[in-house]
A and B are shown apart, each in its own frame.
Chain A
């Protein structure tokens, strides 16, 4: 089977500071890949390279057979297939919840406002926030805002969802509601790459776990393998701190 995302020899540095070194990973359709590791290990940067929010220095990223590093690739088109959820939600504060969700389908996918609204309402129901449609983001709790952000990304009907520490900015009591939405998505067969500190989620939902440290993938494997029987010393050291 062809991988849906293929990353080869990826290097990324900010000035003299090398953040990613020789990353190689293939991700397959419907797979849930969870990326864990200490702060500053490069896991968010890795994720942000996949839709070119960060420009890698060298290497190759191929998504559905199309190279992102090729200058003639229209990155905006690729981005429509990659939904992204941010740690800080990044909702548009000047737009109502429903407008947040409708904007990109109308402007980018050229849907009619009626179609976009219908889709938005359907997604709000899915994340359990139908009653918030006409509110502004400022009136939402963190957990609600993040669920709207997930709905907004899903409105573009992406093939892949990228989650960049989606629960790290939330109060503990709100983490569960966001993870529940993500679990639903995984169950429906969405291809997901999730950078997170939620080891419970990684164990329960992940098909594969990547452990990153200092810009390299130190170890990867199924959750059972990686959490139950890590082979690398650095993985063991990290897990002993967080579990």
Chain B
């Protein structure tokens, strides 16, 4: 089998740009997704069912339908009426953030609920408000337990961002597909894409291991 490195080299500049976009998509989406997810997670823990219900529905919709479908809905259904036309970058950030928010919400909820009831009881029996108990006692302990799950979610997000190629967001997969179309080659474009994703996620998991030991 002849493996043509020259076509990879030819595509390196755009693959690099694509990689930057993939990283950008993932970072922005994990940040927006976590902030939304925190709110949704708290919403799902509301004492009354009619407050919980919309958050419950949100989480189940985004976890229960394929990201592929969500991207298409956001790209062709949600973004154009608001933005005026389609835009792959906006769609990418919106779809990935909304999707990641659903998973983050469950990570937050599970983390918070994993803290022993006695911790909150001790805090409020000292006269702290529920808010103070959450801030000083429960969240600091819960966040520590959430780190591994969040790391995992981040890695999944990096890989899932490859689906943005279907709406022509110029990230790694988009350029690999273009490369395949131009040269009618299979191994060079797809192995290169796989290698880039692997380097991204592997470095990320190393970084997360380090962080886990630190907190």
Contact = CB atoms under 8 A, between A and B. Distances in A.
B7 interface: no
B192 interface: no
User: What band does the interface of chain B fall in when counting residues whose beta carbon is under 8 Å from A?
Assistant: 10 to 19
Interface in B72-123: 116, 118-119, 121-123
Interface in A75-112: 76-77, 79-80, 82-84, 86, 88, 90-94, 103-104, 107-109
B132 interface: yes
Contact of B119 (A51, A92, A109, A153): A92
B65 interface: no
Contact of B125 (A84, A92, A94): A84
B132 to A, nearest CB: 6
Contacts of A152: 126
Given A103-B136, A107-B132, A108-B132, A92 B127 contact: no
B128 A104 contact: yes
A76 B141 contact: no
A53 B121 CA distance: 7
Interface in A41-83: 51, 53, 76-77, 79-80, 82-83
B144 interface: yes
Given A86-B118, A90-B118, A90-B122, A77 B141 contact: no
B156 interface: no
Contact of B121 (A90, A91, A94): A90
Contacts of B140: 94
A124 interface: no
A107 B128 contact: yes
Nearest to B125: A84
Contacts of A82: 125
A212 interface: no
Contacts of B116: 88, 90
B125 A51 contact: yes
B204 to A, nearest CB: 26
A94 B141 CA distance: 7
A104 B127 contact: yes
A84 B124 CA distance: 10
B195 to A, nearest CB: 40
A53 B126 CA distance: 12
A156 interface: yes
A153 B118 contact: no
A77 B126 CA distance: 9
Contacts of A80: 126-127
Contacts of B127: 76-77, 79-80, 104, 108-109, 156
Given A76-B124, A104-B123, A104-B126, 10 more contacts: A53-B121, A77-B127, A82-B125, A84-B125, A90-B116, A90-B119, A90-B122, A93-B141, A108-B128, A156-B127
Interface of B: 116, 118-119, 121-129, 132, 136-137, 140-141, 144
19 contacts: A51-B125, A76-B124, A76-B127, A76-B128, A77-B127, A79-B126, A79-B127, A86-B118, A88-B118, A90-B121, A91-B122, A92-B141, A94-B144, A103-B136, A104-B126, A107-B128, A108-B127, A153-B125, A153-B126
